[in-house]
């Protein structure tokens, strides 16, 4: 399934590039290189530690070239988040093509995908408390459109899972949605990986199980 997402996204990009002029293609390639560099730095260092100088060095271009495409550090983070949401939406849309799968299993798959992306160093890490970054993201139409779309699609599964008693119906659906989003930046995932004692599959299984079933002892 991960391969399908990559191929579908790449195919769409190739089609788009074919319709652009040479100058526009060069600009797109440079922007993609910058966003990919930002994504790697946000995943490894986080927003507060990342600098525009590091972005330029990671992308292999001058700092002035970065500013030709993105006016600020906040815009760089926004572009990386748009890219991450595009990947998430592609994954969710693939899951939606299998309506016979239970809503709870769909939500578990999304949580595992988010954590796998973090383990693979592909998930940007942004601070929850940063007024300038928050304002920039809220003013970013591409980011907000994708965030709302993803939230709406996940909310359908949440409602179905609660209605069918797969998830506690007394919990606010909004809270469940936030818990799912939190898996994309869950520090437990990174700490378990950093310990070097566990495989990625163990980490994914344990955190997914504790997310949906809690920490109580399981019946033997």
> What pLDDT is attached to residue 2?
29
Q: Give the C-alpha separation, 174 to 179, whole Å.
A: 9
CATH number of 2-213: 1.10.357.10
Contact indicator for 192, 203 with CB cutoff of 8 Å: yes
CA atoms within 13 A on the CB side of 13: 14
Q: Which of 47, 36, 44, 120 is nearest to 86 (CA)?
A: 36
pTM: 0.83
What are the 10-residue block averages of pLDDT along the chain, 220 residues in total? 32 52 77 93 91 95 94 94 95 96 97 95 86 92 96 97 96 96 92 96 97 83
> What pLDDT is attached to residue 95?
97
> What pLDDT is attached to residue 127?
86
> What pLDDT is attached to residue 10?
39
Alpha carbon 208 to its chain centroid, in Å, reads 16
């Amino acid at each position: 399934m991960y391969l399908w997402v990559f191929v579908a996204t790449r195919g769409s990009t190739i089609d788009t590039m074919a319709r652009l002029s040479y100058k526009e293609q060069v600009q797109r390639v440079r922007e993609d290189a910058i966003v990919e560099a930002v994504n790697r730095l946000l995943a490894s260092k986080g927003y507060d530690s990342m600098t525009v100088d590091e972005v330029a060095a990671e992308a292999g271009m001058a700092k002035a070239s970065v500013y030709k495409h993105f006016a600020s550090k906040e815009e760089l983070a926004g572009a990386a988040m748009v890219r991450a949401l595009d990947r998430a939406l592609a994954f969710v849309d693939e899951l939606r093509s299998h309506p016979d799968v239970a809503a709870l299993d769909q939500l578990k798959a999304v949580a595992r995908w988010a954590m796998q992306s973090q383990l693979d160093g592909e998930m940007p890490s942004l601070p929850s408390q940063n007024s300038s970054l928050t304002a920039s993201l809220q003013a970013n139409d591409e980011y907000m459109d994708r965030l709302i779309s993803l939230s709406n699609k996940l909310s359908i599964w949440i409602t179905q899972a609660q209605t069918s008693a797969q998830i506690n119906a007394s919990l606010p659906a909004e809270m469940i949605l936030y818990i799912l989003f939190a898996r994309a930046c869950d520090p437990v995932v990174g700490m378990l990986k950093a310990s070097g004692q566990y495989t990625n599959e163990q980490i994914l299984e344990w955190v997914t199980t504790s997310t949906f079933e809690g920490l109580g002892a399981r019946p033997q």
